[in-house]
Amino acid sequence: MRNRTSFHCGGVLAVAAICWVAFPAQAEMQSESRPLGGTTVATGALTNEIQAINSLRRDGRYDEAETRCLQLVKQNPDDPSVRTLLVEIESERGQQKNTRASLKRKIESLVIPEVNVREASLVDVMDFLQKQGQTLSADKAPINFVWQVPEQAKTAKVTLSLHDVPLADALKYVTQSCGLRYRVDPHAIVIFQPVPAPPANSPSPHAKP
């Protein structure tokens, strides 16, 4: 009789021990997830998404960052950290637009007295324009030029004669004479090679044979 009672008590203790181990583990698993808009998303997944959004911010890709952040806000409208992130992105995107507009106004207002070159390499002409822009600007701040063209494109020859021309127009004439283009980014003038348009009579890639 004594042995049977001891066995029964031992069984109760074993069950209690199992419950004590299981319940904290279950609570820990629940703490690693959080509800987002009616669904349960792991905290780690949310952290990874925020890191991805911040990476887009660092690259200046604010439109993509805002789109992904808006999705997070929609899923979890009560999370203050996500809302703060969205406000920061919108503020930085506004600053980026202001900086780009300021640089664009600058190159449109600076007038180069003379550009007279004959069979000069493109890179030398662009260096000349860059120095002229810095010299003529009120703040004497350098205008950064970023090249996104093949190396051989920089050696193209330029023959041009211009007088009292805005820097923006000079950049247009020089780049177009070499089959290139330029665009104004927030902190630099980017010189790039446009993608050629397909021939007018070429079949559509979606057309059936």
pLDDT at residue 104 above 90? yes
User: Could you tell me which residues come within 8 angstroms of residue 190 by beta carbon, excluding any fewer than 6 positions away?
Assistant: 146, 148, 182, 183, 184
Tell me what percent of the chain is helix, strand and coil, each rounded to the nearest 5: 60, 20, 20
Q: Are residues 82 and 146 both part of a single domain?
A: no
**Residue at 203 is within a domain:** no
pTM: 0.58
Q: Are residues 156 and 98 both part of a single domain?
A: no
**Residue at 8 is within a domain:** no
Domain that holds residue 120: 110-192
User: Could you tell me which residues come within 8 angstroms of residue 57 by beta carbon, excluding any fewer than 6 positions away?
Assistant: 65, 88, 89, 92
The model's confidence at residue 188, banded by pLDDT at 50, 70 and 90, is very high
How far apart are the two ends of the chain, measured CA to CA in Å?
91
Percent of the chain with pLDDT over 90: 45
H/E run at residue 12:
helix 2-31
**Residue at 6 is within a domain:** no
Q: Are residues 96 and 128 both part of a single domain?
A: no
Q: Are residues 185 and 117 both part of a single domain?
A: yes
Residue by residue, DSSP assigns 137-173 as: SSS-PPPPEEEES-GGGGG-EEEEEEEEEEHHHHHHH
**Residue at 19 is within a domain:** no
Q: Are residues 124 and 184 both part of a single domain?
A: yes
**Residue at 58 is within a domain:** yes
Average pLDDT on 23-27 reads: 45
Q: What's the pLDDT score for residue 203?
A: 58
The model's confidence at residue 62, banded by pLDDT at 50, 70 and 90, is confident
Q: In angstroms, how far is CA 161 from the centroid of its own chain?
A: 38
Q: Are residues 97 and 129 both part of a single domain?
A: no
* pLDDT single digits (tens) 82-102: 889 989 988 888 888 888 899
**Residue at 45 is within a domain:** yes
Residue 50 near residue 56, CB atoms below 8 Å:
no
Q: Are residues 90 and 124 both part of a single domain?
A: no
Residue 178 near residue 122, CB atoms below 8 Å:
yes
- Boundary residue ending a domain (102, 122, 141): 102
pLDDT at residue 201 above 80? no
Average pLDDT on 11-34 reads: 45
**Residue at 2 is within a domain:** no
Roughly what angle, to the nearest 10 degrees, separates helices 80-109 and 62-75? 160
Q: Of 6-15, 68-77, 179-188, 197-206, which one has max mean pLDDT?
A: 179-188
Residue 68 near residue 59, CB atoms below 8 Å:
no
The CATH number covering residue 141 comes to 3.55.50.30
Q: Are residues 43 and 98 both part of a single domain?
A: yes
pLDDT at residue 123 above 80? yes
Average pLDDT on 171-195 reads: 93
Q: Is 116 helix (H, G, I), strand (E, B) or coil?
A: strand
Q: Are residues 89 and 132 both part of a single domain?
A: no
Q: Are residues 180 and 126 both part of a single domain?
A: yes
**Residue at 4 is within a domain:** no
CA angle 167, 107, 118 (to 5 degrees): 20
Q: Are residues 126 and 154 both part of a single domain?
A: yes
User: Could you tell me which residues come within 8 angstroms of residue 147 by beta carbon, excluding any fewer than 6 positions away?
Assistant: 154, 191
Instruction: Provide the number of structural domains found in the chain.
Output: 2
Q: Are residues 64 and 125 both part of a single domain?
A: no
